[in-house]
Structure 1
Amino acid sequence: MYQLTVGDIHATIHSGRSVATDFMIDIETLGTRAGCAILSIGAVSFDPRAPFSLEHQEMSLETQFFARIDLQTCVDRGLFVDPKTEAWWQQQSDEARAEAFGGKADLRDALTALSSWMSTAAPGDECGTTSARVWSHGMDFDQPILNHAYAACGLQKPWAYNAGRDTRTVLDLGGVQHKGVLHRAVDDCLAQISAVRRAFDNLGLSEMKKVAA
């Protein structure tokens, strides 16, 4: 079992798992475009072709990453706070706000830890670029914001330029309606994984359908 806990950074990789093929990423922020401050980062390793079940949910929980970030460390690196998004957070649940705000992890430390976790779960090239696909709910939010944050910290993002995958396209093709957003990074990842697996199943791409055929 790979496990890292340093302040508000938590990462685990179950020792019995094979090399990861896919990661789901979700972030909570104080803006909606690249350059905004990041409050938290969640990521979960998964296989989109595996049938979703409680067993697979538990396995996913054993290979995950979560970091709560100190807002000031974002501002210090030139990331901005959008007043409209800040006001929007005030309308969210106490539980969601408590998880998103008050983080203590330095932004650069959190991104470095995310890179290390991903490259350990899915080893890639000599530069540390993971071989896995990286999913997010849409291609114009999580990944561009993370890309900018990595650059602002003088770091290279840990996934390849062509690794990005969009859940919304797959869900549309698979006829899956994604249920409400929780605005808790790891929980959002798990909900999105569940939806992607249902879409793969509807499209005849899951391992269960292959075995049946």
Structure 2
Amino acid sequence: MSKRVDIMVDIETLGKGSNATIFQISAIAFDIITGEHYSTFNKIADISKNDKLVVDGSTLIWWLNTNKELLAELLNNGHNSSDKLLIMFNDWIHTQSDDINDIHLWGNGILFDNKMIEEQLISLGVDYPIYYKNDRDVRTIVDLAGKKLEITEQELKEYFKDESLTEHDALDDVKYQIKLVAGCYNALIG
């Protein structure tokens, strides 16, 4: 019998639409009870290698007003096109379990990270590697745990906050979200 594999993913993009340019994909396979990390994927695109860029002005302005130094650092450290990044991520997911149906992909809003990855993989002619019942949503588990613990979402997030992590760096966001999800999971099942 194969074992459930939970993977937390976070992407950084230049827009909010499903076809927006993805320039960073980070993911960690993890134990949902302990939060232990098993395997890490962290790649940054060299957007100069993209055939096209899909950017929306409000997202670009948001980046410039939020952390333009991080944006510059990320955009200057990429190696492959955004399309190649997606293919590499798909390949990495397939190495995480002998049975792809055992993989549960967590995103901070499945209609953003997970959905954007799915739609862009399909546009490349690649099947989305996650079984349709296995997309998981950080926001939902946080909402449920907050209600059970009778605290606000913000109070719950503050409890798990880690000042050593850089917000909006996808890898650091993944690390934070794993701590958050493992804590919420334990609050719900404990």
* 1:118–1:130 CA contact under 8 A, matched in 2: no
Change (3 A) 1:48 1:187: same
Q: Which residue of 165, 181, 184 corresponds with 1:196?
A: 181
Following superposition, the deviation at residue 151 of structure 1 comes to 2.0
Q: What residue ranges of structure 2 are gaps of 5+ in the alignment?
A: 147-152
Matches within 5 A, 1:65-76: 65-74=41-50, 76=51
What residue number does 2:149 align with? Answer: none
Following superposition, the deviation at residue 202 of structure 1 comes to 1.3
Change (3 A) 1:19 1:94: farther
1:31 aligns with 2:15: yes
Q: What residue identity is the alignment partner of 2:118?
A: N
Following superposition, the deviation at residue 73 of structure 1 comes to 4.3
Residue deviations 1:86-142 (CA, integer Å, cap 9, x gap): 111112335521443132212232222212211111222xxxx45210000112211
1:161 aligns with 2:146: no
What residue number does 1:89 align with? Answer: 63
Identical residues among aligned pairs (%): 30
- Distance in 1 separating the partners of 2:4 and 2:69: 31
- Distance in 2 separating the partners of 1:162 and 1:178: 26
- Distance in 1 separating the partners of 2:132 and 2:17: 19
TM norm structure 2: 0.81
- Distance in 2 separating the partners of 1:123 and 1:198: 27
Residue deviations 1:40-61 (CA, integer Å, cap 9, x gap): 00000112122x4xxx3xxx2x
- Distance in 1 separating the partners of 2:49 and 2:126: 15
* 1:20–1:45 CA contact under 8 A, matched in 2: no
For the aligned residues, what is the CA RMSD? 2.3
Matches within 5 A, 1:46-195: 46-50=30-34, 52=35, 56=36, 60=37, 63-74=39-50, 76=51, 80-102=54-76, 103-124=78-99, 129=100, 131-175=102-146, 177-179=156-158, 182-195=167-180
What secondary structure does 2:157 align onto? coil
Structure number with higher helix proportion: 2
What secondary structure does 2:95 align onto? helix
Q: What residue ranges of structure 1 are gaps of 5+ in the alignment?
A: 1-17
Following superposition, the deviation at residue 156 of structure 1 comes to 1.8
Following superposition, the deviation at residue 66 of structure 1 comes to 0.8
TM norm structure 1: 0.73
- Distance in 2 separating the partners of 1:19 and 1:109: 29
Q: What residue identity is the alignment partner of 2:167?
A: L
